[in-house]
Amino acid sequence: MANVKCNPDLVRERAKCSFDVNELIHLIDGGENATKEKRHFEETIFSVKELQDAVPEEYLSHKDRYENAVRKATILRDVCREYMKKYNYKPNRFRVGHGVFKDVSPFLLHDGMFVATIIGQGTPEQQAEWLPKAENMQIIGTYAQTELGHGSFIRGLETRATYDPKTEEFILNNATLSSFKWWPGGLGSTVNHCIVVAQLFINGKSYGIQPFIVQIRDLNTHKPLPGVKVGEIGPKMGFQTANNGFLGFENFRIPRMNMLMKNAQVLKDGTFVKGMNEKLTYGTMVMVRVGIVGDCSLNTSLAATIAVRYSAVRHQSKIKAKEPEVQILDYVTQQHKLFIAIASSHVFRNVYSWLSKSYLNVMKDLAQGKQDHLPELHATACCLKAVCSRDAGSVVEECRLACGGHGYMTSSNLPLVYGFTIATVTYEGEQTVLLLQTARYLVKAWLAALQGKVLAPSVSYLSDWLKNDNVRWQNTPEGIVKGFQHVAAGKVKAAYDTIQKYIKLGKDYEDAWNLASVQLMKASEAHSRSILCEVSWGEVIRTSASPNLLQVLKQLAQLYLVYWTLETSGDFLVYSNISKDDIAILREKYEELLAAIRPNAVGLVDAFDLRDEILHSTLGSYDGRVYERLMEEALKSPLNQESVNASFHKYLKPLMEKAKL
Ligand SMILES: CCCCCCCCCCCCCCCCCCCCCCCC(=O)SCCNC(=O)CCNC(=O)[C@H](O)C(C)(C)COP(=O)(O)OP(=O)(O)OC[C@H]1O[C@@H](n2cnc3c(N)ncnc32)[C@H](O)[C@@H]1OP(=O)(O)O
Ligand SMILES: Cc1cc2nc3c(=O)[nH]c(=O)nc-3n(C[C@H](O)[C@H](O)[C@H](O)COP(=O)(O)OP(=O)(O)OC[C@H]3O[C@@H](n4cnc5c(N)ncnc54)[C@H](O)[C@@H]3O)c2cc1C
């Protein structure tokens, strides 16, 4: 990229960067070699001509866009397969996926959840049967859980799998409209298999929801099998190429061994054997929630790169009347909008790496029959997924707004990035629902703290707070992290006390919970924020980097801490010993941090190392040729391929002529 002829503003910005951009790229990638491998892989993918679109996708019809996405998905699969064989390299498909599809791949659910569920929920025999076929794409699948009537409350799913011991089969049925599967990616027209999550019935008795692997289309003709009703759900706010679909069964039989039986089992005679913990059936969701925190980092870095580069190139208005128009990046309000995006991407990445390690440790424990840490992992993954996805959505939208009118152009790519980022707030567990899951855990932890029990590490601050809730406020990063824990502990206590108050007033526990649920949700959010602050600050101070880079990383981490303290200063005033003077000091600190980060802003987004092909943006390309690209892209509009459009003769001219009469 270094040899590209760049906009002079960007050249100047890059020259004043105080740290080595390559050092940060290597740090993000996990080493110099990892960067080399990543770049070689991306170079290979983006030099494949067939993966490049001649006409921008937005001009294609819904159907053509889907077919184009499938075409590219198959080419990408072949290229990746060859590449992996040749170089023994496991690529990050999500990064290049944004480049190839702009949006998401119709195989997203095959890779993200179908294969993962076979691994996570299948016995070794079942894995041997289906995994090689799924990994080779001999079969293509999705994860079909959500129904028209139920998504969040999965115990309420209506799809039935009734065991027939005579034939040793399950009979799948969707007797009601609300029981139809609705949403699964790839289901519309792409997949031939799915994991169907259904209510198991044996001899008229319900045994809860279980996962089944089901072939729904003929492998040769792709026709739905008899007893299967399947289709696509139509256009959405984003995820246009994900091919989300619907599905229903009528007396559709599958062999007994198609129930994934790593946890619970159904024996030939219909005996149900319970698993170690019925919640392990929800395992794929926990894994994907962890992954979504990483995805939030990537999505935020896409938007930040586009908006920061654009803001360095764009000049508008003046700070001083007699001086030239300034780069909009020099407005401190613009820095306020954008630098939190850069900082958030780093925070999400660090927290993702921490959460992934916890996830892998719990999986190791489970393999040995130990499940003590599962509730903590579930609670942590739920609240972090909820808060990171919501933050990422807000930050991406703020970046889009920070690009003014041009941020509204599809060619900026910001509307699309917003479309797939905001979906993460809902899928894989709607935000409020997940926050309330964490709140259940927090209330239990609070009770345990009151009883003097030892708490799990992520909530041990509740016991500390009980011992001393009067800690003196300190305007240091460590002091702020403590402050976030105080806010979280104060909110958990307040929510708990509110439940108790309603119970004393004669409400039963469930009603008291519902009445207190706004507070519970906020307590859960505060808990999540305290984890984000503690973990990200901890990761940064442990980072080994050159002094220049370390200084910048600390500035970003501090910016995140101070930004959120100021954003939630009301909570700090209520639940900590912060004073108005401390808040004034933090405001000053915030302005200092914005000024310190300003010269490095372009270097920082360059260090996300997102190629132009991945950014897909007229505003965010490395060379900063913003206006040229906006015009070049506009000229691709089909309306610009003719000097006079047929509608003139058909409608406009008659209208004008009628007006003359
Ligand atoms: C700069 C660049 C940086 C780069 C960084 C790196 C980038 C890396 C990128 C990585 C990207 C990876 C991305 C991966 C994305 C993959 C793509 C996938 C695309 C996905 C598309 C969407 C798919 C879907 O949406 S599938 C459907 C998902 N559906 C849901 O999530 C439903 C939500 N509902 C539920 O989960 C449940 O119903 C729930 C939990 C709300 C309630 O369940 P239930 O009613 O049964 O339980 P409760 O009665 O409330 O609780 C009982 C008890 O059980 C506990 N519990 C519940 N769930 C679990 C669980 N999963 N595990 C453990 N325990 C659980 C609960 O806490 C209760 O415990 P108590 O002790 O009784 O309190
Ligand atoms: C882009 C996209 C892709 C998807 N892909 C898939 C897929 O591949 N496979 C699949 O199975 N599903 C998929 N889904 C479905 C997704 O998982 C669900 O939409 C999601 O879990 C939310 O459930 P819901 O739609 O039932 O929302 P609802 O639960 O109906 O939410 C509506 C409102 O009710 C509130 N609410 C619900 N329950 C409670 C409660 N207990 N307490 C308080 N408030 C509550 C929520 O907070 C929300 O405000 C996808 C969804 C989207 C948007």
Mean pLDDT of 352-373: 96
Show Cβ contacts of residue 19 under 8 Å, excluding neighbours closer than 6 positions.
546, 548, 549, 551, 552, 600, 603
Q: Encoding tokens for residue 185?
A: 């990616």
Q: Which CATH architecture has domain 112-275?
A: Beta Barrel (2.40)
Would you say the pTM of this structure is higher than 0.90?
yes
Show Cβ contacts of residue 576 under 8 Å, excluding neighbours closer than 6 positions.
471, 473, 483, 486, 487, 490
Q: Encoding tokens for residue 652?
A: 């406009």
User: At 252, is the secondary structure helix, strand, or coil?
Assistant: strand
User: At 349, is the secondary structure helix, strand, or coil?
Assistant: helix
Q: Encoding tokens for residue 14?
A: 């890059």
* Percentage of residues in the chain having pLDDT higher than 70: 99
Q: What is the 3-state secondary structure (H, E, C) of 433-450?
A: HHHHHHHHHHHHHHHHHH
Q: What number of H helices and E strands is found in the chain? A: 25, 11
**Measured from the CA of 436, which atom of ligand 2 is nearest?**
42
Task: State the ligand closest to the CA atom of 156.
Answer: 1
**What's at 511, amino acid-wise?**
D
Substitution site in 183, 385, 428, 434 for ligand 2 pocket (most atoms within 8 Å of beta carbon): 183
Q: Are 338 and 304 in contact (CB under 8 A)?
A: yes
Substitution site in 105, 279, 436, 514 for ligand 1 pocket (most atoms within 8 Å of beta carbon): 279
- 559 CA to centre of ligand 1 in angstroms: 30
Distances (CA, A) of 368 to 276, 282, 361: 11, 18, 11
Q: How far apart are CA 617 and CA 632, in angstroms?
A: 12
* pLDDT for residue 471: 86
Closest CA to 524 of 643, 388, 384: 384
For atom 1 of ligand 2, the residue with the nearest CA is: 423
Binding residues: 146, 185
pLDDT per residue as tens digits for the range 16-47:
999 999 999 999 999 999 999 999 999 999 99
**Measured from the CA of 185, which atom of ligand 2 is nearest?**
8
Substitution site in 244, 285, 384 for ligand 1 pocket (most atoms within 8 Å of beta carbon): 285
- 150 CA to centre of ligand 2 in angstroms: 8
Task: State the ligand closest to the CA atom of 142.
Answer: 2
120 lines ligand 2 (CB under 6 A): no
- 152 CA to centre of ligand 2 in angstroms: 5
CATH number of the structural domain 284-451+480-605: 1.20.140.10
432 lines ligand 2 (CB under 6 A): yes
* pLDDT for residue 2: 52
- 282 CA to centre of ligand 2 in angstroms: 15
* pLDDT for residue 91: 82
Q: Encoding tokens for residue 313?
A: 């190139």
Only one residue has tokens 């039986």, namely 261
Q: Encoding tokens for residue 55?
A: 């006409």
Closest CA to 302 of 97, 547, 567: 97
* pLDDT for residue 55: 87
Q: How far apart are CA 185 and CA 121, in angstroms?
A: 20
**What's at 563, amino acid-wise?**
Y
Task: State the ligand closest to the CA atom of 371.
Answer: 1
ipTM: 0.97
Q: Encoding tokens for residue 94?
A: 């999500």
Task: State the ligand closest to the CA atom of 296.
Answer: 1
- Is 90 exceeded by the pLDDT of residue 577? yes
- 427 CA to centre of ligand 2 in angstroms: 6
- Is 70 exceeded by the pLDDT of residue 1? no
Residues of the chain with CATH 1.20.140.10: 284-451+480-605
pLDDT per residue as tens digits for the range 52-93:
998 899 999 999 999 999 999 999 999 999 999 999 998 888
- Is 60 exceeded by the pLDDT of residue 184? yes
Residues of the chain with CATH 2.40.110.10: 112-275
- 188 CA to centre of ligand 2 in angstroms: 19
240 lines ligand 2 (CB under 6 A): no
> Which residues participate in catalysis according to the annotation?
428
Closest CA to 131 of 144, 108, 114: 114
Binding residues for FAD: 146, 185
Q: How far apart are CA 306 and CA 401, in angstroms?
A: 12
User: For residue 265, what pLDDT band results from cuts at 50, 70 and 90?
Assistant: very high
Residue-averaged pLDDT of the chain: 97
CB-based burial of residue 109 (10 Å sphere; 0-12 exposed, 13-18 middle, 19+ buried)?
buried
198 lines ligand 1 (CB under 6 A): no
**Measured from the CA of 429, which atom of ligand 1 is nearest?**
31
